[in-house]
């Protein structure tokens, strides 16, 4: 599994997203370019969905940048915004690698959101499975969480965390799992909900197979 862009339940409509995840030496994707929009007139109503298409460039040491994979993502919202103290959604994503033999990769699972006063909490429980690949592997499980404190100034603060534990029905030993977490900041460049927004988080690994540190940056640009 991969710690990719966070599919939080509620998102701005009509956005282009840039996600940076630099790593030393860099065979991992370092930027993802995503374009998507809500389907339906009102994204706060139950039954609506958001669809997006993503291209993941990749650059290995000494090589030129190339497209590593293509993704199609759908997020469904089943509850009406603000009608309950919680929100429930579902993610379904298909990824196709450009390299031969990689097959198709499916990612799916529930997206959960709740609110405690000014604090918003998100928890995503995601499963990942590979199909038609030369090397088969069992379904794996990972999670994503976020806490965000909304402030009147428009500069919100919080924290994010991502984890991968291996097989969904038989977790890997602690030394082979990956867990990263750290502080995050969120800013909207304007007073309107459709104005551009930026997010940044400094994530630190907690041992095992996790990277020592990772800087995640995301820009949401309406068009």
Indicate the fold that domain 15-222 takes in CATH: Porin (2.40.160)
* C-alpha dihedral sign at 174, 178, 184, 186: negative
Residue 81's contacts (CB-CB under 8 Å, 6 or more residues apart) are 10, 44, 45, 87
Q: What is the chain's percent helix, strand, coil content, to nearest 5? A: 0, 60, 40
Q: Which of 129, 98, 89 is nearest to 7 (CA)?
A: 89
Q: How far apart, in whole angstroms, are the C-alpha atoms of residue 102 and residue 69?
A: 10
Q: Is 25 left (phi over 0), alpha (psi -120 to 50) or beta?
A: left
Please give the chain's pLDDT, 223 residues, in tens. 544 545 555 443 334 444 444 443 334 444 555 555 545 445 455 556 677 777 776 666 566 666 777 888 888 888 776 677 888 889 999 988 777 667 788 999 999 999 899 999 999 999 999 887 777 788 999 999 999 999 988 899 999 999 999 999 999 998 889 999 999 999 988 777 667 788 889 999 887 878 788 888 887 766 5
Cα–Cα dist 107/139, whole Å: 10
List, in sequence order, every beta strand (DSSP E) within 43-85.
49-58, 66-77
Break the chain into its structural domains and give their ranges: 15-222
- For residues 117 and 78, what is the distance between their CA atoms, to the nearest angstrom? 22
């Amino acid at each position: 599994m991969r710690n990719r862009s966070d599919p939080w339940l509620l998102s701005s409509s009509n956005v282009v997203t840039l996600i940076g995840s630099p790593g030393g030496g860099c065979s991992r994707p370092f930027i993802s370019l995503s374009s998507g929009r809500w389907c339906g007139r009102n994204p706060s109503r139950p039954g609506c969905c958001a669809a997006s298409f993503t291209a993941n460039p990749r650059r290995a040491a000494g090589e030129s940048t190339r497209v590593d994979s293509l993704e199609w993502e759908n997020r469904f919202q089943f509850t009406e915004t603000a009608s309950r103290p919680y929100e429930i959604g579902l993610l379904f994503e298909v990824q196709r690698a450009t390299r031969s033999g990689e097959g198709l990769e499916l990612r799916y699972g529930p997206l959960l959101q709740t609110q405690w006063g000014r604090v918003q909490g998100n928890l995503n429980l995601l499963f990942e499975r590979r199909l038609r690949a030369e090397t088969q592997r069992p379904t794996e499980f990972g999670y994503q969480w976020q806490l965000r404190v909304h402030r009147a100034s428009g500069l919100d603060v919080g924290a994010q965390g991502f984890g991968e534990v291996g097989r969904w029905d038989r977790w890997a030993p602690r030394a082979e799992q990956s867990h990263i977490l750290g502080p995050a900041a969120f800013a909207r460049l304007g007073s309107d909900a459709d104005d551009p927004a930026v997010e940044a988080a400094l994530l630190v690994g907690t041992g095992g197979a996790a990277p020592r540190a990772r800087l995640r940056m995301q820009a949401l640009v309406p068009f």
